[in-house]
Chain A
Amino acid sequence: MVNPVLLIAVPLGLAFMVPLIDSASRKLTRFVPVAALMFNLILCIRLIPAVLENPIVINLGGFTPPFGINLFVGPLGLLFAGLISLAGLVVSIYSLSYIKNGPVVKYHMLYMLLLTGATGVVLTGDLFNLFVFFEILCISSYALVAYHGDRAGIESSIKYLIQGTVGSGLLLIGIGFIYGIFGTLNMADIAMKIATVEQSTLFVPMILMVAGLGVESAIFPLNAWLPDAHSSAPSSISAILSGIAIEVGLYAVARIVFTVFGISDIYLFFAFLGILTLLIGEMCAFAQSNIKRMLAYSSIGQIGLILFALALATNNTVTGGLFQLVNHTISKGLLFLSAGYMIYRSGSMEISSLNGMGKRMPLTSLAFTVGAFSLVGLPPFAGFPGKFLIVSGALLKGQMVINILVGLVLLSTVIEGTYFFRVIQALYFKDGNGERKRAPATAVTAMITLMILIVALGVYPKFLADFLSSASSDLLDKMSYVGSVLK
């Protein structure tokens, strides 16, 4: 069996090799992330059968938990790792031509560090280790946001840095509390011991950790960094931030709330929080005239929806939430990638400057359209099965409050549809000027891959649903998590 540690070790190692490789051959540098992520993706796929049978627990350094640090490769972790590799791979292919100017070497290095951090967060079974990987993820993304080195980039990078640091601080304090209470940092161990402590003493550490992670995962009202950062980063990085970084944050929140604490009293609160995030995100997106900010706010909305789905904590809704998460990674990635080249060609992020793009960049516009349709949840694209599962799971709970929240979810879809269709109309049905010039082959490859995935998932959701279903029980079934780690 292949060792899942390689999922973290290979990109990490290659990340630090990038400068060396660059000094050997300039041309080769760009291909390092592609190679690393391709490797990761293949690894993830090969791990699927084994993981579905039994989660793989790796004890680093040979110490058994709760004493050593362990990696936990369950279906959920593997899902995220696979998603990170996939999105990372596609975006790195896109970057081959998109990232040409500026500190290219640093870009690729930070990019791989970011993905390493993300992979680490989703695979680790240790709270402090989680914090460390989380910092790797955050710090590389602060730097990448400022990649262009322009005023807006640096300003939003600083804002992001400040808020991120506050978040990290809170997370660290929370972890400290936990360590003080339990004397252990192993997540499985804490989860086992959680019942021995009175519930109310756990509140403060939990809320600190949730708030700390909430900053990264863009839960309202902790998400103010996001629109700035997403809109001023290079589009490839926006795609990763939107598709990976905040989702990983959400993973961490979910892991801590469900698996580590697992106290169901607070779930409904998260559902409300999710709906609030959803509505505010969508309404802010509705008011935008800047395409990237619009997409960024739409990410907030989607995170809210996913949070809502996860917070309902039934197998159906969590599966739906995870489906929506996968869809969001792919679709939002596609949207940012296609918008990236359109912005590159038109030189402006205003939606009005995209008028008539359908004629000038037909394939890119098509990609944007497919992404938008999918995100709105129109069949036969990938957004529909997710929405279907979420709504059916929520209605299955049969509570009036939740039914009303479902109504709000559907309402927000209307708002979402409105602003996306407005852009699509601008692309196809308004006249603009500019030369007809296609996106380069690498970008087109990336976009076509994502489009195929969107349609495939939309037409045959079962292909993913079974895996997601076991991922959701991985998240919800606390006992088996504890059991498989501590044996």
Chain B
Amino acid sequence: MHIIELIFSPLLALLIGVFFLGLARKVMARIQWRYGPPVTQPLIDIIRLLSQKSASHGVAFNIGLVMSLAGSLVITLFLPFGKIAPMSNSGGMLVILYLMLIGPLGMAISSGESANPNASIGISRKLLLAMGYELPFLLVVLALMTAYNTTSITEIVSLQRDTGWSMFTFPLVLSGIAYLLILPAMLGVRPFEVVNAPQEISSGPLVEYGGPYLALATLQHALAFFIGISLFVNLMWGGAANPVIFFLKMLVVFFLGIFVNAVFPRLRIDQAIRYLWRWPSLIAFAGLILVCVTGS
């Protein structure tokens, strides 16, 4: 059973991630009164890309991308999906936080090696944006860990079963609001789509990728999307005992994200940081103080 879960959960995550990508395009199209591609379009693209030849810029160009995707896959082993969390006893929230670095770092090394300034600018923006949302995000996570007095994500989920969703329990409500405010930035959707910004910097880090590289990069993107939503659901919306309910919760978050994406224009990177470091951070900070005050 355990081994099946180990193999099954990354694949499931990939599947859901790719599905979300397809769905996003469809929903966006409908919002904009277009018909849009079929939901399976990203999957078809990935298969096509895998069969195309592509230029390689060196060993780190390959390895970085592989590392990035592998790192993201490993996170799915730690994140509970419903009750499926095959490796949650090998490390908790802190491991997840740090594993979440491997994806961007691998991507950064790979696209840095591509020797294209567009890619470098994209990476620079990616790291700056991460700096921007990590500040409130860490405050939120610390508030959660302090409030539940554990660093294990499965325990956080199971404790919410007794208390109700963290977002609607008293001392964590501010943290929940802050998390909601930074969620678009963590998912990389508009108004925070500064990293890939196709019109400005030719898709940024992706600029030199073609063929199998682009396939891997797409998969990594899908996984990052999945992880962002899943983390939010687990931490704030009580996770779920049942994978189906969990999936439905994720879908709700996904739609929220897409709606935001659809109506906002893109910010400049400095505007984004300013936004993230102002209200969300202040609210998250207040949330952490609240937790500390009421907790002891």
A and B touch in the complex (CB under 8 A): no
Interface positions of B (Cβ within 8 A of A): none
Interface positions of A (Cβ within 8 A of B): none
